[in-house]
Structure 1
Amino acid sequence: MLERLQLGINSEERSQMLRSLGQGLARLLPAQSVRTALRARELVCLPACTAHQSQILNNVGSYRGLTIGVTRYQGEEEEGAEAEGKKIDPSKDRTRVIPVDTSIRYLLSDAYKATYGDDPVWKKYRRNFKGQRPKKKTRKTCIRGGMISAGNPCPACRDEYLVLDYRNVDLIKQFISPFTGAILPPVQTNLCQRRHQELVVAVLKARDYGLLTHDVPHRQYNYKEYYQHWDESQEKATS
């Protein structure tokens, strides 16, 4: 708690001290730590100050109408020290960019076969959801600020070596239906929305480059419905 101390000096000395104190605090303390709530006859100060704060209060000052937020300034210093000393878990760090060639070699390695076997990467994955029925849509993303923010990330986010790229054909084939050739929905593959969009772009780009083969549906039309003078000889010629 802040304690108000009456200063046993005259008004001229008090005004001069407050003016010099404010000029120094405006340079050293953050703007959020200084508030305009001080009366002309009172000075707000914390009884138990640290050595650094005591030196600031002794050497510099504030002008009339400013308050020293010592407690808030001390809290900001502690938060900054905790952030600097906090260690990053390397298993959750996703700031490193994995090349596509490394991902392609990973799919052929013994480590990949020991982890996934012959099944797709999403086959043994299970979503965590509240209740008995899963949601229609998966989460937006598993990675925020270069770190995994979810406790159970999607199959593509939990393994950083699974790069969804149009050149990584063996990986994106696992997310395509072998019967229809369509991209499997995220409800089935359990990919987050961000990774699913990357998958769609990779599949369409691989088809444009000819890396993925897909069947174009063939449709037969009855030309007699469009042309009045259509005969069977013309239909055989067109077929």
Structure 2
Amino acid sequence: MAAYGGTFIGRLAFLSKNVISKFLMLTSPANRGVATSMVHRQCVPAEKEEGEESTSDRPKRLDVDAETSIRYMESNAYQGVYGEKPVWFYYRRNFKGSIPPETRKTCIRKGEISTGSPCPICRDEYLVLDQKNVKLLQQFISPYTGEVLATKKTGICQQQHSKLLVEVMKAQDSGYLDKNVPFRVYDYSQYWDETKGKVL
């Protein structure tokens, strides 16, 4: 077994030497007819024309205001992409196991998307979380409890989720969204004496 393994490795090394030497022979400058002195030229940057912007001057991501986002939510483009479903409905995360882990901290670093699959808010630059953008905020609020949905359900990153919580509170304080007041449970034994049947 050891002799067979040694023979196999020896043959593999011999074959790899032959393959490498043939590759080097085919790709050498003398065989390709390329003069190496011509390869090392200085690259002169092209002058930009009058109406043309350089790529460094342009922003990496559009800066969209809340009013534009509200108009986008009412447009045919939004209806064509999302329809009547929430923006997070078709978003799926790949993860190991059956329990989804917490979402990433942020999808946007240094002004551009830095991940392969950004969250539903970060991937569409026209979706801006703002207290006046009620149609977008309502998609992240449970219709049954009135609470903000968890990130494991919506899939939005932690930065956008914290911004969502702030904007929902602002919208509730400004009157754009209804604020659910929790039901209070009182301990009536502190106010009413059942043995005597009178108020304390």
**TM-score w.r.t. structure 1 length?**
0.56
1:93 aligns with 2:60: yes
Counterpart selection for 1:167 from 127, 132, 150:
132
Indicate if the aligned counterparts of 2:106 and 2:160 stay in contact, CA closer than 8 A: yes
Measure how far apart 1:51 and its partner are. 9.7
Whichever of the two has the greater Rg, that structure is: 1
Give the superposed CA RMSD: 3.0
After TM superposition, which residue ranges in structure 1, 4 or more long, deviate above 3 angstroms? 132-135, 227-235
Aligned-residue identity in percent: 47
Indicate if the aligned counterparts of 1:137 and 1:187 stay in contact, CA closer than 8 A: yes
| Structure 2 counterparts to residues 151-230 of structure 1, below 5 A | 151-223=116-188, 225-227=189-191, 229=193
Distance 1:232 1:123, change over 3 A: farther
Measure how far apart 1:134 and its partner are. 5.3
Distance 1:215 1:51, change over 3 A: closer
Indicate the residue corresponding to 1:68 in structure 2.
none
1:125 aligns with 2:59: no
| Structure 2 counterparts to residues 52-131 of structure 1, below 5 A | 93-94=60-61, 96-129=62-95, 131=96
**TM-score w.r.t. structure 2 length?**
0.66
The superposition leaves residues 100-152 of structure 1 with CA deviations (integer Å, 9 ceiling, x where unpaired) of 000000000000001000000000011133x2345421011111111101111
Question: For 1:192 and 1:51, how far apart are their aligned partners in 2?
Answer: 47
Query: SS in structure 2 opposite 1:175?
Result: coil
Indicate if the aligned counterparts of 1:164 and 1:199 stay in contact, CA closer than 8 A: yes
Question: For 2:64 and 2:92, how far apart are their aligned partners in 1?
Answer: 25
Measure how far apart 1:219 and its partner are. 2.5
Question: For 1:121 and 1:132, how far apart are their aligned partners in 2?
Answer: 25
Query: SS in structure 2 opposite 1:128?
Result: coil
Indicate if the aligned counterparts of 1:128 and 1:152 stay in contact, CA closer than 8 A: no
Question: For 1:51 and 1:215, how far apart are their aligned partners in 2?
Answer: 70
The superposition leaves residues 72-116 of structure 1 with CA deviations (integer Å, 9 ceiling, x where unpaired) of xxxxxx9xx8xxxx968x9x932x320100000000000000100
Question: Structure 2 unaligned runs (5+)?
Answer: 1-39, 46-53
Output the amino acid matched with 1:123.
F
Indicate the residue corresponding to 1:20 in structure 2.
none
Distance 1:167 1:228, change over 3 A: closer
Query: SS in structure 2 opposite 1:103?
Result: helix
